[in-house]
Structure 1
Amino acid sequence: MSDSNPEVDVYGYILEKIDTVPHLEAVILLWNSRPVGWTAEELASRLYLPTEKVIEILNDLVRQQLVQQNPSSPSKHSYLPRNAEQDEWMYKVDVAYRRELVRISTMLHTKTSTSIREFARAFLIKKDRD
């Protein structure tokens, strides 16, 4: 991965991988507390969101392979360390969000709607299978 312009790289990564500010804050919270798992209720209290919304966010992050659901009772989620490259990206995302909170939040707020992105992702997944 090139560090020639890390801000440009990390903004592109965020736009590609992260749907909303709550998605970003959830994955950063899980990244910073790894390997500890969190219940949806615990995350909801930290993110100031209803538990039902946090469950939706966690399901999205699991589908994107950024988070894993741990087999425990009650169910807990934690950051999914798939490879060193993803860990490097998460480090850059965390640093960038701490420095550029308003810029990154605004960037995410101006993205197309989640339903349009999900529709487009369905075609990407189908294309990858073909």
Structure 2
Amino acid sequence: MNRQPIPEDLRRFVLTSVPSVPFLEALLLLRANPGQEWTGEMLAGRLYTSERTAQGLLDELCRAGMAAPCPGPQAQRYCYAPASEALRERVDNLAELYSRHLVDITNLIHSTLDRKAQQFADAFRLRKEH
């Protein structure tokens, strides 16, 4: 049985906008609970990671335009808030695809990380040789 490839628009989105699997998991968790206000502590508990790591993920999601600080007096609470309707639709499509092709999406994210690590190592090696 041939597997259907990841659509090109979602492939580009993952390669350019999803830096890690924990980032994607945090994004999808926020998306699945759109009315929920999240703290680093709450997200850490759901992702089985440290509070510091979870807070970093929330900060990254905000910088990427996928989450935002929640309105109100509560400090350090974040909500799912894509910066545009197009981004919301892309995340929705990715969530649906990820539910059916978790391994394919995960491998795509890891291939990006591996490539970046190799580029870094190559740059260091070139610098050291000169």
Residue of structure 1 equivalent to 2:82 = 81
Q: How many residues align?
A: 110
In structure 2, distance between residues paired with 1:52 and 1:81:
23
The TM-score normalised by the length of structure 2 is 0.76
Residue of structure 2 equivalent to 1:126 = none
Is residue 41–residue 51 contact of structure 2 (8 Å, CA) maintained in 1?
yes
Quick one: percent identity of the two aligned structures?
A: 27
Residue of structure 2 equivalent to 1:127 = none
Structure 1 spans left out of the alignment, 5+ residues: 117-130
Q: Secondary structure at 2:65's aligned position in 1?
A: coil
What is the one-letter code of the residue matched to 1:13?
F
Is residue 39–residue 55 contact of structure 2 (8 Å, CA) maintained in 1?
no
Pairing 1:1-130 to 2, within 5 Å after superposition: 7-71=7-71, 72-111=73-112, 112-113=116-117
Whose Rg is larger?
A: 2
Q: How far is the alpha carbon of 1:24 from its aligned partner? A: 0.3
Is residue 40–residue 55 contact of structure 1 (8 Å, CA) maintained in 2?
yes
Is residue 7–residue 96 contact of structure 1 (8 Å, CA) maintained in 2?
no
Structure 2 spans left out of the alignment, 5+ residues: 121-130
In structure 1, distance between residues paired with 2:11 and 2:98:
10
Deviations 1:8-57 (A, max 9, x none): 21121111111000000101111111022111111111111111111111
In structure 1, distance between residues paired with 2:86 and 2:74:
31
The TM-score normalised by the length of structure 1 is 0.76
What value does the CA root-mean-square deviation take over the aligned residues? 1.8
Q: How far is the alpha carbon of 1:6 from its aligned partner? A: 6.9
